[in-house]
Structure 1
Amino acid sequence: MTRIHFIVNPISGKGKHNITETHIKTFFPSEEYEVFVHLTQRKKHAIELTQQALAQGATIIVACGGDGTIHEVATELVGKEVIFGVVPVGSGNGLASNLAIPKDIDKALQLIRKQNIMAMDVGMLNGSYFFSNMGFGIDATIIEQYEKSGKRKLGAYIRAALNSAQQYKAKQMRVTYNGQTKVVNPLLLFISNSNEMGYNMSLTPKASLTDGLLDYLMVPKIGILKQLTFGLYVVLKKTEKFRRTDYIQTSKIEVEISNSPKNGVQIDGEYCEFDTNHFVIEVAPKSLKVIC
């Protein structure tokens, strides 16, 4: 008997989704599946619910929500035999898109029943996991402003990006990878495990969830016109061809931020602050079993 737990964020997608226990059970016959449905009530509640599902002997745990819910559930499943599933009902849905998981809820549930399983890589930042991407530069500032807006729409993200372009102040950083160290003043220092960051946008279109590598993209502080030019390269998914770009693939990167004991970072589209200026970013190959 397959024990499948669904962890549902009831307010994802403005709460308009139809992910109810009754609806879910129509896809999973009772003679084959034991189905449990849990609703999150607050930020980080999905972590607690996932831990409870593991204690109850879950075979599959499915995150039903946006990038935040997906991140919380997946974090607890790294290195475990329990299978991770996703029903994307958020705004960005970057990881779900990379995994070719449909936005249509019924199709996503059908996919979970088929159980096409892939072992995917996971990124680590000072021991904390990320599944899509993380960044130290203007992307962290954009996410901070985006979260403060209280609106989860593409328009709000674009406004946050335009405001950040005017206000962002670059920090000097020492970056080490593949045996070499560089001093940079980045507009963008972005490290990705996935080839999509949400809203069908990509800064690292060559990235793969299964190659055992992270994709590093650094764009130095540049003027507003060159920022707009870089934006065009993003739209065209050709960021590595922007002349000022430093783009490499590697399994480990170290970043030390000068004269800044406390630093904001975006992790899978969420803004986080760290009381350190030294970061080690590396990959844990094929450490999460996911339905795709």
Structure 2
Amino acid sequence: SGRRRDFVFVVNPSGANGRTGKQWKQLLPFLHTRLADQCNICECITSGPSHAIDVTREAIKDGADAVIAVGGDGTLHEVVNGFFWKGSPVRALDRGPDHLTALGLIPLGTGSDFARTFGWSNDPRQAIDRIELNQN
């Protein structure tokens, strides 16, 4: 289909003692250069604990093609929890039963244990490259 895909980036600006927010601002030009001509980019900045859960649920209900956690393991944990409600997967309201939302990660946390488990570097530009490769 010719429809541009919708990618929602859930950013925890206070992650890694505020370093995540600063790094994210520096990454935005690179992100736009790599992805903006291929997909719609929505940036959602979280405002506190559990906000990423709510943002993720809304993004999925609105039909997002991918929700990308930007931060550390805590942010990723909240985003993953947002994929579920009362033990069941959250679904898009108007995209049909077969629509699935992908999960992505740009590791900008202190430890980034999840990314390390997969052998991914802690380089956020490499994470954006992985997102670009997987969306084509």
Q: Do both proteins adopt the same fold according to a TM-score greater than 0.5, normalized to the shorter chain?
A: yes
2:97 maps to which residue?
none
Check whether the contact 1:7–1:46 (CA below 8 A) recurs between aligned residues. Answer: yes
TM-score of the aligned structures, taking structure 2 as reference length: 0.75
Opposite residue 84 of structure 1, the aligned amino acid is L
Check whether the contact 1:86–1:101 (CA below 8 A) recurs between aligned residues. Answer: no
Aligned residues: 115
More strand, by proportion = 1
2:95 maps to which residue?
none
Q: Does 1:19 align with 2:24?
A: yes
Check whether the contact 2:72–2:110 (CA below 8 A) recurs between aligned residues. Answer: yes
Give the 3-state SS of the residue equivalent to 1:18 in structure 2: helix
Check whether the contact 1:70–1:86 (CA below 8 A) recurs between aligned residues. Answer: yes
Q: Residues of 1 paired with 2:7 and 2:119: CA distance?
A: 21
Q: Does 1:82 align with 2:88?
A: no
Deviation for aligned residue 1:97: 1.1
Opposite residue 66 of structure 2, the aligned amino acid is I
Opposite residue 83 of structure 1, the aligned amino acid is A
RMSD between aligned residues: 1.9
Give the 3-state SS of the residue equivalent to 2:34 in structure 1: coil
Q: Residues of 1 paired with 2:65 and 2:58: CA distance?
A: 13
2:63 maps to which residue?
57
Deviation for aligned residue 1:35: 0.5
Q: Percent identity?
A: 27
Check whether the contact 2:10–2:46 (CA below 8 A) recurs between aligned residues. Answer: yes
2:117 maps to which residue?
98
2:44 maps to which residue?
38
More helix, by proportion = 2
1:121 maps to which residue?
none
> Within 5 Å, which residues of 2 pair with 1:1-292?
1-16=4-19, 17-20=22-25, 21-30=28-37, 32-77=38-83, 79=89, 81-115=100-134
Q: Residues of 1 paired with 2:134 and 2:44: CA distance?
A: 21
Give the 3-state SS of the residue equivalent to 1:26 in structure 2: helix
Whichever of the two has the greater Rg, that structure is: 1
Deviation for aligned residue 1:103: 0.6
Deviation string, structure 1 residues 210-269 (Cα, Å, up to 9, x no partner): xxxxxxxxxxxxxxxxxxxxxxxxxxxxxxxxxxxxxxxxxxxxxxxxxxxxxxxxxxxx
**18-27 vs 104-113, which moves further:** 18-27
Higher relative contact order (Cα pairs below 8 Å, separated by 6+ residues) = 2
Q: Residues of 1 paired with 2:51 and 2:43: CA distance?
A: 14
